[in-house]
Copies of this chain bind each other. A is one copy, B any other.
């Protein structure tokens, strides 16, 4: 029997047309820092997106060409978000925080023909342009010193002048296959070259529907969303698309991401929800503690990108009445992988164990835990395995090399196509995910995994320990065993045996490290994390004075 349903593609074009017509009066408010935000309706932004598409076509942009954006969160970036995919081209959001060499690498790797750049970011782009042969046109939006582009090989245009020169006629948006490429975002991985994730029209549409569901973010008409997460990070977590689908107004901070202007725009513009990373919320909390503002409009503060310290969540709630909701995702997951709404009907105290997890899996995301021996583990809340996920808005490959074919590195994708997240964690029977480690930091000991993070957290709870890092080191018998690297507090001199006994009260005996070393400080990466690679190298090169305790025996 054949289905009799229409075969209508799920496209960004549909979201654009719906948002600009049905919700034409919703607003995009862009913060300017001078007390006069730039306000534009969805209808106006839609009309401008039409002009942008005409302009890009005039510059020779054809279907499948890549257009880069080096922009903050602002209305013009939203226009590019819709115009570029809707005309059949590919939006490439450029991460302005990447090291310049990496930024140049991804522009070349993606073969951006046009770059739209905020005037304020010209000092970043201009020095790179001589290395970017692929870029034929640079379109500059907003104020900024354009003289830095004087010798550039690309043709330079002003965004507003370009739009003003176009017809106001409707753009003949092509009917697109929903599996066609719509947007491209590179992960800023710490190892190897950046990897490009190519979102399809279908995946962006489905992700928008998922985050508009009442069970997740639940965007609604009449509300105002403040995406602090940059539009160059996984499409600002999909919020601009979702907002156009739901008719939710957008409040965009442009480059004013410091705590003081964020607090001011929240008080003045009264957003109903916001989303960003914990470090932003840490800064905002300090600002609100120092200079209290009216933030009562905010129904939810969504935190993702890194685990949110429970102390930060509690401080927001107790001191400012704001509810922080944790969510988890990756560039490869569009990004909504899970969201930590607790089950209904619990007291606030009962909710905490759920709220500090990475969250519950939505219907569009399938998950499984791959164990150390390759089998899959039960969802019992304790068995820890590598999280693998599957779904229509989950990446199954990366943008490829010169031949344009997608690549599927074995360590990132399973043979049956699931994404290997590189995260180790547990899942409860009702689908709450807790991530504890990165796979590369886990100690694979005799067919079992030992969580380095768990050992570190227990050690750092010891009153004499200032810092502790645990890394895997090779072991003839077990494959790998943990090496405990500790920094004692000034004036303290705890014995390794005492520290191990302390650990022994908290974890299984077979997990206890034999190898211990005391250092003045744990080496750190540029973003302040423990540099475990450096520690492993120092150990391998014999630079650490390791004490080996006898293994703990049964009955001890």
Contact = CB atoms under 8 A, between A and B. Distances in A.
Which residue, A66, A222, A398, has most C-beta atoms of chain B within 10 A? Answer: A222
A212 interface: yes
Interface stretch (A154-162, A259-267, A358-366): A358-366
A215 B391 CA distance: 24
A245 B363 contact: yes
Nearest to A247: B215
Contact of A203 (B3, B396, B419): B3
Given A8-B392, A22-B360, A343-B221, A1 B215 contact: no
A279 interface: no
A23 B366 contact: no
Contact of A21 (B4, B206, B431): B431
A64 interface: yes
Nearest to A405: B2
Interface string A11-36: 00011011001111100000000000
B199 A5 contact: yes
Interface stretch (A142-150, A178-186, A522-530): A178-186
Interface of A: 1-10, 14-15, 17-18, 21-25, 64, 66, 90, 179-182, 184, 196-200, 202-203, 206, 209-210, 212-215, 218-223, 245-247, 341, 343-345, 360-361, 363, 366, 379, 390-400, 404-406, 417-419, 429-431
Nearest to A181: B1
Nearest to A218: B214
Contacts of A395: 4-6
Instruction: Give the interface SS of chain A, mostly helix, strand, loop or mixed.
Output: loop
A363 B209 CA distance: 9
A397 B549 CA distance: 76
A482 B218 CA distance: 48
A99 B32 CA distance: 67
The list of the 10 closest CB pairs from A to B, nearest first, reads: A222-B344, A3-B200, A6-B396, A214-B218, A22-B431, A4-B397, A1-B181, A214-B214, A4-B198, A5-B203
A419 B2 contact: no
A517 to B, nearest CB: 42
Nearest to A183: B3
A209 B221 CA distance: 17
Given A14-B363, A222-B345, A246 B23 contact: no
A396 B182 CA distance: 27
30 contacts: A1-B399, A1-B404, A2-B198, A3-B182, A4-B398, A4-B406, A5-B200, A5-B202, A5-B394, A6-B396, A6-B417, A7-B396, A8-B391, A8-B392, A9-B392, A14-B363, A17-B366, A18-B361, A21-B379, A22-B361, A22-B430, A23-B430, A212-B215, A213-B218, A213-B246, A214-B218, A215-B219, A220-B344, A221-B341, A222-B343
Contacts of A221: 215, 341, 343-344
Contacts of A379: 21
Contacts of A222: 343-345
Nearest to A209: B209
